[in-house]
Amino acid sequence: MTVAMDAPKDAFRLSQLIYDTRYRSYTIQVIVLLVFVAFLAWLLNNTAANLAAKDKDIDFSFLWARAGYDIDQQLIPYTNDSTHFRALLIGLLNTMAVAILACISATVLGVTVGILRLSKNWLVARLMTVYVEVFRNVPLLLWIVLCFALFSELPKEPKDFKVTQEMVDSWAGPEEGRIYPAASMIFMDTVAVTNRGTNVPKPLLHRPLGVIDVGGIPINLSTIAVLAVFGASLWVNRRIRAHAKAVQEATGVRPVTWWKSLAVIFLPTIVMLAVLGLHFEVPAFPANEAGVSKGFNFQGGINVAHSFTALLIALTVYSATYIAEGVRAGILAISKGQTEAAYALGLRPGRTMSLIILPQALRVIIPPLISQYLNITKNTTLGMAISYLDLKGTLGGITLNQTGRELECMLLMMLIYLCISLMISAVMNVYNNSVKLKER
Amino acid sequence: MSDSSFIRSEMLQPQIPPVSERGIVKWLRENLFSGWLNSILTILALVALYFALSNSLPWVLNGVWDAGSLNDCRAILAARGEDAVGACWAVLSRWNQFIYGFYPVELYWRPTLAAALLIVALAPVLYFGLRRPTTYMTGGIGLLLLLSLFGLKTDTWHIGLAAAVFGALTAVAWLLPKKLLYVTLAFPGIGFWLLWGGSAWGPVAVMIGLGLVGALALWTIPRIGMILAALLAALLFLSWFMDPISSVLDFFGMILGWVLAPETVASILRPVAGLRDLLPLQPHVSGGLQSLLPVSLEQVDSDQFGGFLLAFVIGVTAISASLPIGIVLALGRRSDMPLVKMICVGFIEFVRGVPLITMLFTASLLLQYFLPPQTNFDLILRVIILVTLFAAAYIAEVVRGGLAALPRGQYEAADALGLDYWQAQRLIILPQALKISIPGIVSSFIGLFKDTTLVALVGLADPLQGIRKIVLADTDWKGIYWEPFIFVGCIFFVVCFSMSRYSMYLEQKLKTDHR
């Protein structure tokens, strides 16, 4: 006869710490903790010893000292009398500017290319494949440096855009038309690409709302007002669509909304801009009465440095290939049965794409898209190769070299990049969760 | 009793389809002009293609291959005609700098041999020890190597040596293809010795040490369990390569120094001070072997490395080292032990959150703060270490994706079979997870190889920025800029493109489902 008994309770033996799976994980964790703490202590000890040997300390007060160097591209006012912290802010803004623009343009280009690569058109699909393979199998640095070389070596000098005395003398009169200088501007005579930068028109307001200063950072009230009006329009548009949906649910007929949406989204903003008196200042050479240009460079407008343009273009064409691959993979991942089911329900191809395929494909497309945005942001540091003064160029470049505080500058810079990355992934993860498949 | 007036007695011959439904017209209609949108796209694409080709092809094909300088080039082009355009491919006469950097010209056979051996070392991994492809690859690489050695004007002795080595390797590949794995295991030592030169016994002692550590671990794990075996192996590793005794003595000295006078501490530690010279063992072994049998090659310093040689050294080392580290990190991130998981997550997220350039600048500026005073080692080695850590974090995320994609049943089945953690990982989980992650791993590798160009920013002579600028600094070639870009870009393209094609082959080969 057998009797159910409790398992024998052995006394705890030391060897159980190693051989018993119940305790082993604690042993391992204790060892890992010891090794980790010892490693950290070793690092800190070395750092302290090295700092002491070089007679240095860790001190961030250099951030408030005079920077003493100039930065070409400044989104907020900055002179070489400003502090290093101000230079850091300028660098951060420059990083964000090129990163945000590159994200937008790379997404547009990438989605287009990704869809075209799936096109039934043999030639277009092949061309897009060639584009994707060529651009993503060659280092980004090459594209950046190549773009920069193209911009700074190929275009004309600013003086080629001038109207000289000889041109005026040989001009036959108004019936010949206007005088054409050696080089001509593009986009209806508004943009001049020279070897010293691209001159683009500058938006100005006749009746600006003014500027307030928040902690040294100027905030343009006109921009805020325009953005607020645009945001309000978007909200009203959402209400219109929600109403249309409610009507559709109730009656089965969806009211026509497209012209309402168009009007609501764009009209208020346009009116607002008109009230503020938006006009553009086109870059041009000042001229005397005879029409002969004076000066050495364009007056007015904004001079965009080639480092910015080249970095933006190179980041766009390079990252777009990755986004295109993500889009293609996302669309291919949706099984053919979905398309066939949509056709069986009587949906037209366009609506099949927008109502059935894309919403499902987005779930596959978004995660790689997030990591591409992160990559773009991190890759802006490559602008260093063409002297684009982003965060790496100011804080991690000139400030570091001037003050000799490698440890502080590098740690601060890593921290800032880490924060940017974590912020982007947090924002995009919220979006990703909103389109995620709602499972059981 | 048919009442039909007419019955066809023979079938009509089938007619050929109308013109629009056959041949090239059908293909054109279906693939290029199937609708108004497609027709517009086709025409736009044709126009774009025409512009691109009409502008670039004459320039490429009309290039000058034989000129001493850019001015010569322009003179030759001008002599061909008034508006003749053409590339100046003659700048590629500096190809050896793009490939080898500043490596001594008479020693070019060493990196070349190392590259050939690298491919042989890869063959058993790439082709799973299959006899035919392995042999063809070894033999083919051997022939290529001999041809390029002739081209590099290597002396007969070294060509003979290379021929003998590759003859032997091809024979091994044919007879015992799996044994080539030993070449793979030994390659890190051989490659290092061929590239940097110096005494052969240094790398040999390093390899012996690693072999001993591995053998000790393999021998002790079944006997005393994982933890003790790992501790023993770590102890052997430390005493072979580092100097734990001095560190321990320093540590005790520091503790004692808090309570005792410095002289007392010194007198307490004096009897054991002799132990300080005992470790590490590795220099003793290599020094002893070198004095017994001196074998050495001419030493080449790290600052003579450059061009694609540098890119490959950094890329190949970081790729091969980052895969195992990445797998361990991924396993750690999915571990049940909260502490291990926390450390792995912290490391991975930190590294993935910062740009590679900051890591490279850490290598060049900050590492000197974090390492013991007076430690000063090679910039290339420091860069390799940080690039490896950087790549490992990315690989860890890819592998984690593969691990997460496995159905839970696989883990439970492994447990049900009574396999322990490492057996389950080795036999069940990792083979499937790695198979899923191949595309991601290979694209990480491609990214890593492309990122080797960034080392130019910390002052190493990579092919793109470092060497190109040196060539441009030459008065003969000042002002040339398309051709070096195209040359460097083409080599990068070939390497990266073949990697991505190989990953597709591997995916097909390992595919076991029947979809």
ipTM of the complex: 0.85
CA atoms within 13 A on the CB side of B358: 26
Choose the closest CB to A33 out of B228, B339, B373. Answer: B339
Looking at residue B230, its pLDDT comes to 82
Looking at residue A380, its pLDDT comes to 92
The packing angle between helices B262-269 and B244-259, to 10°, is: 140
Which chain A positions have a beta carbon within 8 Å of B488's beta carbon? 142
Looking at residue A130, its pLDDT comes to 92
Residue range B360-382: average pLDDT?
A: 82
* Minimal C-alpha gap between A133 and chain B (Å): 8
Which chain A positions have a beta carbon within 8 Å of B419's beta carbon? none
Check if the beta carbon of residue B274 is closer than 8 Å to that of residue B72.
no
pLDDT tens-digit series, residues B468-513: 888 888 888 887 878 888 889 999 999 999 988 888 888 887 777 6
Choose the closest CB to A137 out of B34, B370, B492. Answer: B492
- Has residue B329 got a pLDDT over 90? yes
CA pair distance A212, A210, nearest whole angstrom: 7
Mean pLDDT in chain B?
83
* Helical residues (DSSP H) of A180-220, grouped into ranges: none
Residue range B188-210: average pLDDT?
A: 83
- Taking CB atoms and an 8 Å limit, are A28 and B340 in contact across chains? yes
Looking at residue B496, its pLDDT comes to 92
What are the sequence ranges of the domains in chain A?
202-281
Greater confidence (A300 vs A438) lies with A300
- Cα-Cα-Cα-Cα torsion B467, B469, B475, B476, nearest 10 degrees, comes to 50
Looking at residue B4, its pLDDT comes to 67
Greater confidence (B350 vs A156) lies with B350
Q: What is the 3-state secondary structure (H, E, C) of A229-267?
A: HHHHHHHHHHHHHHHHHHHHHHHCCCCCCHHHHHHHHHH
Choose the closest CB to A47 out of B41, B343, B369. Answer: B369
Mutate to test the interface with B, among A144, A381, A388 (most CBs of B within 10 A): A381
The packing angle between helices A406-435 and A84-117, to 10°, is: 40
- Taking CB atoms and an 8 Å limit, are A138 and B493 in contact across chains? yes
- Taking CB atoms and an 8 Å limit, are A138 and B48 in contact across chains? no
Minimum Cα–Cα distance from A387: chain B residue: B457
The burial of B474, by beta-carbon neighbours within 10 Å (0-12 exposed, 13-18 middle, 19 or more buried), is given as middle
Looking at residue B61, its pLDDT comes to 85
Q: Which range, of A90-94, A116-120, A322-326, B127-131, averages the lowest pLDDT? A: B127-131
- Taking CB atoms and an 8 Å limit, are B38 and A120 in contact across chains? yes
Q: Which range, of A117-121, A141-145, B150-154, averages the lowest pLDDT? A: B150-154
Check if the beta carbon of residue B340 is closer than 8 Å to that of residue A28.
yes
Which chain B positions have a beta carbon within 8 Å of A27's beta carbon? 227
* Minimal C-alpha gap between A29 and chain B (Å): 6
Q: Which domains does chain B have, with CATH numbers?
A: 17-61 (no CATH), 66-103+302-515 (1.10.3720.10)
- Taking CB atoms and an 8 Å limit, are B369 and A123 in contact across chains? no
Looking at residue A3, its pLDDT comes to 65
Strand partners, A218: A213
- Taking CB atoms and an 8 Å limit, are A124 and B42 in contact across chains? yes
Looking at residue A278, its pLDDT comes to 82
- Has residue A100 got a pLDDT over 90? yes
Which chain B positions have a beta carbon within 8 Å of A134's beta carbon? 493
- Taking CB atoms and an 8 Å limit, are B358 and A19 in contact across chains? no
Residue range B413-442: average pLDDT?
A: 87
Looking at residue B261, its pLDDT comes to 72
Which chain B positions have a beta carbon within 8 Å of A378's beta carbon? 354-356
Instruction: Using alpha carbons, list the distances in angstroms from residue A405 to A60, B37, B111.
Output: 9, 60, 39
Looking at residue A341, its pLDDT comes to 94
The confidence band for A143, taking pLDDT boundaries of 50, 70 and 90, is: very high
The confidence band for B330, taking pLDDT boundaries of 50, 70 and 90, is: very high
- Taking CB atoms and an 8 Å limit, are B485 and A153 in contact across chains? no
Beta strands in B183-281 (DSSP E): 198-199
The confidence band for A1, taking pLDDT boundaries of 50, 70 and 90, is: low
